[in-house]
Amino acid sequence: MDLFVQIAIIAAGIVVGIFIAYALIAYFKKIVRRTTDHGVGIKLIQLISLPFIFLVVLIAGSTLFSATKLGDQLDIDTSVIGGILYIISLSWLIINAIRGIKVYVLAKYDISTKNNLKARKIHTQLSVLERMLIAIVILIATAIILMTIPQIRKVGVSLLASAGIAGIIIGFAAQKSIALILAGFQIAVTQPIRLEDVVIIEGEWGWIEEITLTYVVVRIWDKRRLIVPITHFIEKPFQNWTRTSAEIMGTIYIYVDYGFPVQAMRQKLTAILEETPLWDGQVNVLQVTNLNEKSMELRALVSASDSPTAWDLRVYVREQLIRFLQEEYPQFLPKGRVHLENQPETRR
């Protein structure tokens, strides 16, 4: 068979393979569009489309390349290259399928809602699990590719005798990396933190933005990012304000003179909370929590549906209580007192 004819047959087969792959993708998209959550299904198909087309083209090309015996005519051994390409395409398809499954599952759990505890739990587990599975797929694919290359396989066999010593050395060198990965797995299972949890760590207040296998990104309230090793959340204490629910309480401290009528401020606090949508209607407390020689400390305890709302509520209530104190009872603002005694006049 003429060389040009062989190449033409292989090229035609590849074109037919591409056409079949696109036809199958279009058919599945048509089926998915009939479902209620077709947007997620379309996104899933888009994720696996490119590796699927590559795999179909590879199958068509390798099959026709073998059938036409073009490799024998050109004296080219394509078994190693073909095997590597198959491993790459299958690994690519598996990785995108893992990502697609994550997208499909997470579409059912909206993390932007108020009561999002279960959604944050699922998001956290799948995010860490996705990274672990992808890392495992890449590791296995790389190992198989290396073993398909005869030269590397021979080197591997010759080094097998010293694998025990090398393993010990690598173990010592990679113990921190292994500890980080194990900590990531532990966090995915036990979940001391979840995505969008409100935490205080290293004196900073913010939200858990990203959890990887080795580090956690904390989004600080002023839009800075704090990068923390994932082992920190296993080995050291930190505050998690949304561990069991998104609801949170806030405190406001006001300092007044001893003569101030506390009950009047209690009534004002209730009126302030009832007129703002920031309050969730749960907690409304005003108490005298401390005294000193100059003033009384009043603590207002209020609640909100989540931490950003609680922050806004605290600021709003603080401003309103200060205005109430300034306008209605300015004489009871904290003040210092000086007592002067009349001293008898001394005779000259």
Question: Does the residue 38 lie in any domain?
Answer: yes
Strand order from edge to edge, sheet including 198-201? 225-229, 215-220, 204-211, 198-201, 239-240
pLDDT tens-digit profile, the chain (348 residues): 566 676 777 788 788 888 888 888 888 888 877 776 667 777 888 888 888 888 888 888 777 777 776 656 655 566 777 788 888 888 998 998 888 888 888 877 777 666 666 777 788 778 878 888 888 888 888 878 877 776 666 655 554 444 455 555 555 555 666 666 677 777 777 778 888 788 888 888 888 888 887 788 998 878 889 999 888 888 888 888 777 666 677 888 999 988 899 999 999 999 999 999 999 888 899 999 888 888 899 999 998 887 778 888 999 999 999 999 999 988 888 876 666 666 665 555
Tell me whether residue 161 is in a domain: yes
Phi, psi angles (nearest 5°) of residue 210: -150, 140
**Which secondary structure element, helix H or strand E, spans residue 123, and what is its range?**
helix 117-148
Q: Is residue 23 part of a domain?
A: yes
Indicate whether 19 and 144 sit together in one domain.
yes
Rg of the chain in Å (alpha carbons): 34
CA quadruple 274, 253, 316, 199: dihedral sign: negative
Do 42 and 138 have their domain in common?
yes
Q: How many CA atoms lie within 13 A of 307 on its CB side?
A: 18
Going 69 to 75 to 77 to 78, the CA torsion angle's sign is: negative
Residue 313 placed within a domain? yes
Question: Which tokens go with 70?
Answer: 């073009």
Q: Are residues 238 and 130 in the same domain?
A: no
What b/e readout covers 216-247, taking b as 16+ CB neighbours within 10 angstroms?
bebeeeeeeebebbbbebbeeeeebbbeeebb
Its domain, for residue 310, covers 248-329
How many folded domains does the chain comprise? 3
- 56 falls within a domain: yes
* 194 and 209 Cβ atoms separated by less than 8 Å: no
Q: Are residues 270 and 238 in the same domain?
A: no
46: in domain:
yes
Assess whether 211 and 303 both reside in one domain: no
CA-CA distance, 24 to 52, in Å (whole number)? 10
Query: Phi, psi at residue 259, to the nearest 5°?
Result: -80, 0
DSSP line for 158-202: HTGGGHHHHHHHHHHHTHHHHHHHHHHHHHHHH-SS-TT-EEEET
Inter-residue contact 40 to 103 (CB < 8 Å):
yes
Q: Tell me, yes or no, whether 208 and 277 share the same domain.
A: no
